[in-house]
Structure 1
Amino acid sequence: MSRHRGAGDASTLQKRLEALSEARELAGDRLREQELAPVLGVLERASARRSLSADHTVVGFFGATGGGKSSLFNAVTGGRIAVAAARRPTTAEPLAGIRTPEGSGPLLDWLEVKQRHVLPDDGSADNPPGLILLDLPDFDSTAAEHRRIVERLVGQVDVLVWVVDPQKYADAALHNGFLRGLASHEAVTMVVLNQIDRLAPDEVEPVLASLRETLAADGLANVQIHPVSAATGAGVDGLRAALGDVVRRRRAGTERLLADVAAGADALAGAAADSDLPAPSKDARRRLSNALATTAGVERVAETVGRSYRRQAHRHTGWPLTRWLGRLRRDPLKRLNLDRRDIDPALSRSSLPAPGPAQRAQADAALREFADAAGRGAPEAWRASIRRAARSRADVLPDALDQALAHTDLGSNRKSWWWPLVGLLQWVALAAALAGALWLLGLAVLGYLQFEVPPAPRVEGFPVPTLMLAAGVLLGVLLALLSAAVARAVAGSRTAKARRRLRASVDEVARAQVIAPVEDEVERCNRFRHAVAAARNGSAVKAGLR
């Protein structure tokens, strides 16, 4: 059963380490180096510890000067290994008491423990194989190197045993410098109240109660507390049994790493959103697209399509005698280099003027507004990264919009079916008018030359040549006016269709150049949140030493 439970713990640790590693990778350059440093340290320590002996459990004895740490170390090991003194630190470097030396060398090398002593095997169940006890320098030593060693090993040993005495158990240097930062390490932390022999019997419980209250303020309300006396041996057997139980379960190393992972995740928790960020809304995308369409000049191009259509319609359906006037004006689409009939759209660029300061400012404001809407609810680091994502392609955005407009099929090469019919009627009307005019001219010439002028045929009393001239001119004018009205209606439809196509092209540019990078960053923010949550989930961890 314990083997299966250990495998489950290892699997949980692996998953949470992977989650923490993923969170660090997702954070990338979004967080400052000092924010990621604790996470990187956890991952490096976890990798190193897991590669070393899993059959050994390292228990570190930490304490202040005069707390009896070395004396307690000797009492637990049953020997005179550590040198004890009451007033000054005598432990200058870590000292290891090893129950099973086989396989412990690389682990102790990693811990940088050079002084190693093999403990005698007394056959006691409270001294199981695999136990490594470390007597460490005093954390309040005046020697800076001593404190550096303590701080390093606080982050490396499997089980932390803090030895305090009745006089200095509330020392601020202990609680502010160490214990307060170990709230997530309750499962691998013990506190030993040493020197209880110096207290009257009725004083022990009040001191323990005060110690529990102080530890609770540090976030260690459920940590084990062992009252002992290294001098008399009171409580030492209970402490030795508790340590033996930890070693036999062989879970302390995993629980320590799980606690480290939780602490590393806590360091990232402030940069994780409280809930998943939604994808940018349709309304936000629409506002962005509207602003980019204005910047690109979509309305101008759409209206130019209408003007171009009316010009072409006049060329095909206008009164033939005045059509040539329209040729004096260049096609407005050609002026913008958007007439696809004679320009390769794959190579074309428009001749639209570059956006002015006001248009650029409007586009920048639209990018900021879109990024702020997408990042609403995210911590500042991710809001900043979403804003950077929105502007990541700002340099190429104007050119992309221009290319989108140049590549859009505006329908300028499509003629209307009614043009040839009206054009034919115009030529028929013109021919009739010219025939009537020539007929009348011929009759006038004959009269001028004093020839007998034959009478022109009449219809309802009106001469046919006169009727032909008047009807031809009148029909031509009416057809021109009617075709102009139809052309305006069709031009409006073509303008609307061109506007829709141009807006669709702008939408594609907005999607590729702005929306997609922002959505990727939003997804990255959400994945970071999930990874941090997975790394922090330690609900099954805090059962270790109890």
Structure 2
Amino acid sequence: MSRHRDARTESALARRLAALNDARELGEGRLDDAALQQAYDVLDRAASRRSLSADHTVVGFFGATGSGKSSLFNAVAATDAARVAVRRPTTAEPLAMVWQPEGSGPLLDWLEVAERREGGPVPGLTDGGGLVLLDLPDFDSVQRAHRETAERLAGQVDVLVWVVDPQKYADAAIHNEFIRPFSAHAAVTLVVLNQVDRLAGAEVKPVLASLSSILDRDGLGKVSVLGVSAVTGEGVDELRRRVAGVVKAKQAQSARLAADVAVAAGRLGAAAGAGEAAGAGEPAGVHQQDRKALAAGLADAVHVETVVSAVRTSYRLEATRRTGWPVTRWMSRFRKDPLRRLSLRREGSSAVNRTSLPPAGAAEQAQLDSAVRDFADAISVGAPGPWRASIRAAARTSRAALPDALDQAVASADLKANTRAWWWPVFSVVQWLALLVAVGGLAWLGVLAVLGYFQMPVPDVPRELGWPLPTLMVAAGVVVGIVLAVASKFIAAAGARGRAASARRRLREGVSGAAELLVVAPAEAEIARCRAFQEALAAAGG
């Protein structure tokens, strides 16, 4: 059963380590380098510790100057190996007492502990084997090297034993600088009040209660405090029993690393802004209304309505050229097609790569930037600060390429500029027929006039409703031509509106496509990265 439990614990730890690594990689370039480096250091230490002996549990004795740490170490290990003297600091280099030395060498090499002793049988302590006790330099030593050694090993040992004394147990510096930073490691922490023999019997419980209260404020409220005396031996057997229990459970290594992962994940979360009062959740993400607002803003900036107006005017001009009264339609040829002026009318099957629209100046660039900024602000709402900044930056990644891409989108849109309306040839044929009728009537009347002028016999002309047929032909041809010309104006106006609406839709589709590629896609990728980071962080934090 224990093996299954160990396997499950190791599997869970492996998943949390992998999640922390994922979060670290996802946070690269977005979060504070110090938090990322700490996560890397935890991963590196975890990989190193897990590759070393799993049969040994390393228990470190940490204490301030004068706490009697080395004396307590000797008492627990039933040895006098740790140097004890009046002059301080006493412990200059870490000392290891090892039970079951086989396989401990690489582990102690990694810990950089050179002085090693093999421990003898100690009832109540060594029954489970695989124990490494470390006596460490004082963590408040005036010698910087001693302090650095204690700090380094506090980050490496499997179990932390904090040894305090009645005189300095409440020292704020000890708690703030050394004990409190390991508040997440309660599962692998033992707190010992040494030198209780210096207290009167009635003072022991109040001092222990006071120490427990301080530890509670440190975040170690679940850690029980043990009163001991290295001199009289009071509480030493109980301390041995507790150390032996931790060693026998074989959970300390995993628990220590899990706590390290939780701390690193917490600091990554803090670096990501998880502690902010506002906007510490998930980004809002891209919604359809955001896409529409972005496309509308970009369309305004690249003068889509100018092109739509040109399509409308071009259609009406072409309709006039093809369906107007033949007598006057030639005049429309002197009006330049606005689509040709904008280089948007395809000739034959040729494609248009660029327009002749005005290049993006300061005003247009400001409009583009405003549209992208509003879009980025909307989709990043709710994201923690650094991620909100990275989402905004991702949306602006292609700022320099955006104007040209939008111009190409406008140029490549199919505006149906060369598509003829079905009614144009019908009106044109009728117009020409009406003109021919009018011209035929005029010619007939001309012949009759010439005959009369030269005093030649003038034949009678047919009449309809009392009107000469040639006169009716002229009148009918002119009236029909004018009526058709006027009617074509109204029909062309309606057709121009429809053609303009279709062009507007296609142009906005082109603008939306460019925006999707250059603005939306990078922003969505960054949002996905943010969400993956948060999921990895949650998994790492357990």
> Which TM bucket (shorter chain)?
over 0.9
**1:505-544 to 2 correspondence within 5 Å?**
505-537=510-542
Distance of 1:341 and 1:239 partners within structure 2:
94
Q: Counterpart of 1:244?
A: 244
Q: Confirm or deny that 1:15 pairs with 2:15.
A: yes
How far the C-alpha of 1:21 sits from its partner, in A, is 0.8
2:174 aligned partner, one-letter code: L
1:290 aligned partner, one-letter code: A
How far the C-alpha of 1:274 sits from its partner, in A, is 4.2
Distance of 2:401 and 2:350 partners within structure 1:
22
1:511 aligned partner, one-letter code: E
Contact 2:161/2:189 (8 A) holds in 1: yes
Q: Counterpart of 2:456?
A: 451
1:249 aligned partner, one-letter code: A
Q: Counterpart of 1:481?
A: 486
Q: Counterpart of 1:542?
A: none
Contact 1:226/1:239 (8 A) holds in 2: yes
1:342 aligned partner, one-letter code: G
How far the C-alpha of 1:141 sits from its partner, in A, is 1.1
Contact 2:284/2:378 (8 A) holds in 1: no
Cα deviation 1:455-512 (Å, max 9, x = unaligned):
3332222222222112111111111111111011111111111111111221222222
Contact 1:66/1:85 (8 A) holds in 2: no
**SS of the residue 2:397 aligns to:** coil
**SS of the residue 1:153 aligns to:** helix
How far the C-alpha of 1:29 sits from its partner, in A, is 0.5
Distance of 2:418 and 2:169 partners within structure 1:
91
Match of 2:417 among 404, 412, 415: 412
Contact 2:285/2:380 (8 A) holds in 1: no
Q: Counterpart of 1:39?
A: 39
Contact 2:53/2:104 (8 A) holds in 1: yes
2:80 aligned partner, one-letter code: R
2:478 aligned partner, one-letter code: V
Q: Counterpart of 1:379?
A: 384
How far the C-alpha of 1:363 sits from its partner, in A, is 1.7
Match of 1:296 among 299, 302, 306: 302
1:103 aligned partner, one-letter code: G
Q: Counterpart of 1:69?
A: 69
Q: Counterpart of 1:167?
A: 167
**1:67-146 to 2 correspondence within 5 Å?**
67-122=67-122, 126-146=126-146
Q: Counterpart of 1:177?
A: 177
1:408 aligned partner, one-letter code: A
How far the C-alpha of 1:279 sits from its partner, in A, is 2.2
Q: Which moved more, 1:407-416 or 1:234-243?
A: 407-416
Distance of 2:300 and 2:419 partners within structure 1:
26
Q: Confirm or deny that 1:338 pairs with 2:372.
A: no
**SS of the residue 1:110 aligns to:** helix
Cα deviation 1:95-153 (Å, max 9, x = unaligned):
11111111111111111111111112357564531100111001111111011111111
Q: Confirm or deny that 1:396 pairs with 2:396.
A: no
How far the C-alpha of 1:20 sits from its partner, in A, is 0.8
Aligned length, in residue pairs:
536
TM-score, normalised relative to structure 1: 0.95
**SS of the residue 2:121 aligns to:** coil
Cα deviation 1:412-435 (Å, max 9, x = unaligned):
222111111111111111101111
Distance of 1:86 and 1:524 partners within structure 2:
58
Distance of 1:300 and 1:343 partners within structure 2:
24
How far the C-alpha of 1:186 sits from its partner, in A, is 0.4
Contact 1:189/1:224 (8 A) holds in 2: no
2:204 aligned partner, one-letter code: V
Q: Counterpart of 2:374?
A: 369
1:295 aligned partner, one-letter code: A
Between the two proteins, what is the percent identity of the paired residues?
Answer: 55
Distance of 2:504 and 2:86 partners within structure 1:
89
How far the C-alpha of 1:340 sits from its partner, in A, is 2.8
How far the C-alpha of 1:281 sits from its partner, in A, is 2.6
Distance of 2:123 and 2:215 partners within structure 1:
35
Cα deviation 1:217-237 (Å, max 9, x = unaligned):
111111132211111111111
**SS of the residue 1:117 aligns to:** strand
Q: Counterpart of 1:266?
A: 266
Cα deviation 1:53-85 (Å, max 9, x = unaligned):
111111111011111111111111111101012
Match of 2:322 among 316, 324, 329: 316
Q: Counterpart of 1:424?
A: 429
Distance of 2:424 and 2:61 partners within structure 1:
99
**SS of the residue 2:55 aligns to:** coil
Distance of 2:540 and 2:184 partners within structure 1:
13
2:257 aligned partner, one-letter code: L
Distance of 2:359 and 2:350 partners within structure 1:
21
Q: Counterpart of 2:292?
A: 286
The runs of 5 or more residues in structure 2 that have no matched partner are none
Contact 2:284/2:381 (8 A) holds in 1: no
**SS of the residue 2:28 aligns to:** helix
1:215 aligned partner, one-letter code: L
**SS of the residue 1:284 aligns to:** helix
Cα deviation 1:170-202 (Å, max 9, x = unaligned):
122210111111111001111111111111111
Distance of 2:538 and 2:320 partners within structure 1:
69
Contact 1:62/1:150 (8 A) holds in 2: yes
Cα deviation 1:487-543 (Å, max 9, x = unaligned):
111111111111111112212222221112112211211111111111112xxxxxx
Distance of 1:476 and 1:122 partners within structure 2:
122
1:309 aligned partner, one-letter code: Y
How far the C-alpha of 1:343 sits from its partner, in A, is 5.5
Distance of 1:224 and 1:125 partners within structure 2:
19
Q: Which moved more, 1:95-104 or 1:520-529?
A: 520-529
Contact 2:281/2:384 (8 A) holds in 1: no
Distance of 2:264 and 2:423 partners within structure 1:
75
Q: Counterpart of 1:500?
A: 505
Distance of 2:267 and 2:49 partners within structure 1:
21
Contact 1:126/1:245 (8 A) holds in 2: no
How far the C-alpha of 1:37 sits from its partner, in A, is 2.0
Distance of 2:370 and 2:196 partners within structure 1:
70
Q: Counterpart of 2:54?
A: 54
Contact 1:161/1:189 (8 A) holds in 2: yes
Distance of 2:454 and 2:444 partners within structure 1:
16
Distance of 2:334 and 2:422 partners within structure 1:
25
2:85 aligned partner, one-letter code: A
Distance of 1:18 and 1:325 partners within structure 2:
78
Distance of 2:81 and 2:125 partners within structure 1:
21
In structure 2, the CA distance between the partners of 1:343 and 1:358, relative to structure 1 (3 Å rule), is farther
Distance of 2:82 and 2:299 partners within structure 1:
79
Distance of 2:87 and 2:193 partners within structure 1:
18
Q: Counterpart of 1:543?
A: none
How far the C-alpha of 1:284 sits from its partner, in A, is 2.3
How far the C-alpha of 1:302 sits from its partner, in A, is 1.5
Distance of 1:236 and 1:189 partners within structure 2:
17
How far the C-alpha of 1:393 sits from its partner, in A, is 1.0
How far the C-alpha of 1:285 sits from its partner, in A, is 2.1
**SS of the residue 1:29 aligns to:** coil
